[in-house]
Amino acid sequence: MGKYFFLIICGSMSNILNIFFYLDITDINSDFGTYFIMAASLAQPTFTSGHLVLLMQSMIPMFAFQIVYGVYIYKHFCCASVYYFSRQKNRTRWFIGESVKIIKYTAIFFASYILTAIAVTIGVTGDSKVVGELCIYTFLYFVLYNFVFCMLINLVSIFTGSQNGIIITYGIQMASVFVLNVFNDKVQLTGIPLKLFKLNPASNLVVSWHSSSGKLGKYINMFNIDFDINVSLIYFFVLSLIITGVGGFIINKIDVTLENKEEKG
Amino acid sequence: MEVINSIKMQSSLLIRKKGFQISFLLLFAYAMLISVIYAYMQKGSYTTEMIHPAMISGITSDVDYVWFFCRYFPFMAVMPAGFSFINDINTKTSVLLKAQMGEKRYYMGKLVSVFLITFITFTFPFFIELLLNVIIFPFEGTRAATGWEAYSLTYVQYANNHLMSRLFYNNIYIYYIISTALTGIFAGAGAVFTVGISSFGIKYKAFLFLPFYLFIYLAENISKYIISSYTYIDTYITIFDIIEGKSMAYYLTLIVLLMIMGIIFTAINIRRNETR
Amino acid sequence: MDKIELINVSKEIKKKKILEDINVKFEKGKIYGLVGKNGSGKTMLFRAISGLIKLSGGMVVADGKVLHKDISVLPSLGIVIENTGLYPEFTGFENLKLLSKINKKIGDKEIWEAIKRVGLDPADKRSFRKYSLGMKQKIVLAQAFMEDPEVLLLDEPTNALDEETVNLIREILLEEKEKGKIIIIASHSREDIEYLCDEVYKISNGRINVKRGGESNEEMV
């Protein structure tokens, strides 16, 4: 219970810090949806370096979470690996069980994050008409995105050690935000560039850049492009399945080494 | 004298490590890439319209992508030497080294060598870049990377916002060297802070990326309450930055704070280990 | 478990043959000794038998079931590998409890008894990282014995132990042998091999080239 409580507090604090540091909380003349987009979903209106830097700054709580849970599976390969895995009759089943636990912790953290954003939004705007769909999409995007990268850190760390796992995974995330800068007056969001934009994990993470024909449309659709909000959900879901599947396969094939990668000089 | 031997020994050990070699090479490659890009961009230009050789740098704020380099900065500051203490503990070489040189010399040598190696990683590539720029580009170039004339009234007004703006007006080369050195000092202080945190017995090296990262995140966001101006750390670690509101006192305070915390944490844990 | 059979077992790492065509049968109710120089492949053989590594060739068959095909690890195994530790931040008891949760075969009582059996105090609040070398070896032995496994693979079991504890461990192994366990020990100690082993294999450059059984095992060590 203590662990869950700590996660909830951290999730809540993460959102409060992001709102406090990066949001103009005096802008209260907005409805729930408009304010919530800014308070929770990493919305940035352009691809200038300034806005992309703000996007990266807002992702810092996510990176901190990924660093902590990026060693959740890896830790079993550090010490006592021989005694742990000589007892594991089915490593793949074990791996899937650990993956489910990571999803659980990710969900708790970001549920707290989103609920805090909802509370702040209602408190600031006075508008209690919660746009449930918006909250749910934001929550699912955050959970699946962070699950994918936590798992990636774990898998890379098993082979290279935790510091390299972080460097490589953080590098991928930073690069995926960095490349969005080309859409700032250099390249148009049409044709093949748009397809590449849709494959970029960072662009899939930001709810407000998506399009929706339903009532969500008035809160998102920032760039008026064909970028269906449901397709990104499927994209993250498929990525999650792939990483879990690949991880389960790799875990079964690797030799359990005696060396502790954290102890390598 | 013996402390110097300890520093020399531990520094030479760190230079042989992949962490230093990879970070140095990455920064060197980045610095060279910037020079090559600007050489290409200025191809066919008149010399008087060219950029001043000292204003082309991987860490000048006028370069488009330096903001993204700054996002990697907290990670890169830890890479060369931030893990050295935890590595010594894990491989148990700390026991051998302490037996050879004594505990005090070991720790003093450790902190100094960590600072030095990180400082070298963040300064030498850009010093070499300056040397290269001076050879490649003509001295007659007077523009800033943004395209403004470096000595025009418009730019001079903005240049008042540089840290050490007087030095900038007097000698751009010395300004470049000292600003770059300050960036190296800030990175070195971050590495010392990380080593101090690692003395608490952090189990996973990945966690050592967090302290400096979070320090910078908090420092940026509470700066508006301390110096009445919200500024990214990027505006301090880059050179020729024209964003107003910077404070040298604030910057130096952060550096000193990082160093002091690193030293205090290490001292606390020496005492703790003695009494166990 | 009645027997474990290694059939043409080989393991290659980066084109270097660590184990080569190992053919050996281990039966219940016997203690087998494995001797050889440092780097001869003893630990790698243990890892192969325990299922911790994938084989480059051959197979390990335990009561008709093929490892990595029918089963992924031996169903009832206690293993000690030289110089591998437990979780440093937990006490001995907490470490064993954590490991016991994987198969859920035993409870606190069995763990308590296993720790006492090797001569340690189960109520000791010190974390594993604060243990002496001998204490670490004892707790690791306790984790091997605690679930009453049918197979025991022990790499240098009496390493770093005082004479009293060495005698204690020898007695435990003889008790386990009487219960019909398959016990394989790797040791540089001539006394351990002479005192305990029914059969001894010598491993050299990844090959088992000599086998001795019976009373005199002097020439093996």
Q: pLDDT tens digits, residue range C79-130?
A: 998 878 888 889 999 999 989 988 888 999 999 999 999 999 999 999 998 8
- 8 Å CB contact of B79 and A167: yes
Q: Are the beta carbons of A49 and A181 closer than 8 angstroms?
A: yes
Average pLDDT in the B181-189 region? 96
- 8 Å CB contact of C86 and A84: no
Torsion angles phi and psi, residue B61, rounded to 5: -70, -10
Minimum-distance CB partner of A163 among B83, B93, B221: B83
Q: Are the beta carbons of B150 and B55 closer than 8 angstroms?
A: yes
Q: Which residue has the tokens 């490590």?
A: B17
- Chain C: nearest CA to B87, how far in angstroms? 16
The verdict on A265 touching B (C-beta cutoff 8 Å) is: yes
Segments making up each domain of chain B, as ranges? 2-271
The verdict on A10 touching B (C-beta cutoff 8 Å) is: no
How wide is the angle at C-alpha C216 spanned by C-alphas C215 and C217, nearest 5°? 115
Greater confidence, C114 or B41? C114
Q: State percent of chain A over pLDDT 90.
A: 49
- pLDDT(C218) > 50: no
Classified as helix, coil or strand, B199 is coil
Q: Which residue has the tokens 């990104």?
A: A232
Q: Cβ contacts (< 8 Å) between B210 and chain A: which residues?
A: 64, 67
pLDDT (tens digit, 9 = 90+) per residue, C177-191? Answer: 999 999 999 998 888
Q: Cβ contacts (< 8 Å) between B204 and chain A: which residues?
A: 71, 74-75, 78, 162, 262
DSSP assignment of B76-141 equals HHHTTTTTHHHHHHHHTHHHHHHHHH-HHHHHHHHHHHHHHHHHHHHHHHHHHHHHHHHHHS-TT-
In angstroms, the CA C88 to CA C131 distance is 9
User: Which has the closest alpha carbon to A66: A175, A157, A146, A159?
Assistant: A146
User: Which has the closest alpha carbon to B233: B114, B42, B15, B72?
Assistant: B72
Substitution target in A73, A156, A157, A166 with the highest count of B β-carbons within 10 Å is A166
- 8 Å CB contact of C89 and B203: yes
- Chain A: nearest CA to C194, how far in angstroms? 28
Q: Cβ contacts (< 8 Å) between B276 and chain C: which residues?
A: 130
Cα A103 versus chain centre, distance: 11
Which chains contact C through at least 3 pairs of Cβ atoms less than 8 Å apart?
A: A, B
Q: Which residue of A has its CA nearest to B80?
A: A163
The verdict on C193 touching A (C-beta cutoff 8 Å) is: no
- Chain C: nearest CA to A224, how far in angstroms? 52
In angstroms, the CA A84 to CA A130 distance is 47
- Chain B: nearest CA to C156, how far in angstroms? 22
Residue B231 per-residue DSSP state: -
Q: Which residues contact B113 (CB under 8 A, 6 or more apart)?
A: B7, B10, B11, B13, B14, B81, B84
In angstroms, the CA A239 to CA C186 distance is 46
Pairing between β-strand C199-204 and β-strand C151-155 as defined by DSSP bridges = unpaired
- 8 Å CB contact of A88 and C54: no
pLDDT of residue C80: 92
Pairing between β-strand C30-35 and β-strand C182-186 as defined by DSSP bridges = parallel
The verdict on B92 touching C (C-beta cutoff 8 Å) is: no
pLDDT of residue C220: 45
The verdict on B81 touching A (C-beta cutoff 8 Å) is: no
In angstroms, the CA A208 to CA A226 distance is 12
Minimum-distance CB partner of A84 among C43, C47, C102: C102
In angstroms, the CA B216 to CA B234 distance is 10
- 8 Å CB contact of C79 and A89: no
- 8 Å CB contact of B276 and C89: no
pLDDT (tens digit, 9 = 90+) per residue, C19-65? Answer: 999 999 999 999 999 998 888 889 899 989 988 888 999 999 999 99
Tally C-beta pairs within 8 A across A and B.
Answer: 87
How wide is the angle at C-alpha A260 spanned by C-alphas A255 and A263, nearest 5°? 155
The verdict on B203 touching A (C-beta cutoff 8 Å) is: yes
Classified as helix, coil or strand, C9 is strand
Q: Are the beta carbons of A236 and A204 closer than 8 angstroms?
A: yes
Q: Cβ contacts (< 8 Å) between B88 and chain A: which residues?
A: 265
Q: What stretches in chain A show pLDDT beneath 70? A: 24-29, 264-265
- 8 Å CB contact of B276 and C130: yes
Classified as helix, coil or strand, C128 is helix
Output the average pLDDT for chain B: 86
- Chain A: nearest CA to C218, how far in angstroms? 31
- 8 Å CB contact of B203 and C130: no
Amino acid at C107: G
Distance (Å) of CA B150 to CA A223, B51, B168, C165, C166? 37, 9, 10, 80, 81
Average pLDDT in the C131-146 region? 93
At residue B1 the predicted structure's pLDDT band, cuts being 50, 70 and 90, is low
Q: Are the beta carbons of B69 and B58 closer than 8 angstroms?
A: yes
Q: Which residues contact A18 (CB under 8 A, 6 or more apart)?
A: A39, A58, A61
In angstroms, the CA C221 to CA C34 distance is 10
| DSSP H or E run through C183 | strand C182-186
- 8 Å CB contact of C52 and A253: no
Return the half-sphere exposure (C-beta side, CA atoms, 13 A cut-off) of residue A213: 4
At residue B217 the predicted structure's pLDDT band, cuts being 50, 70 and 90, is confident
Which structure tokens are listed for A67?
Answer: 């660093």
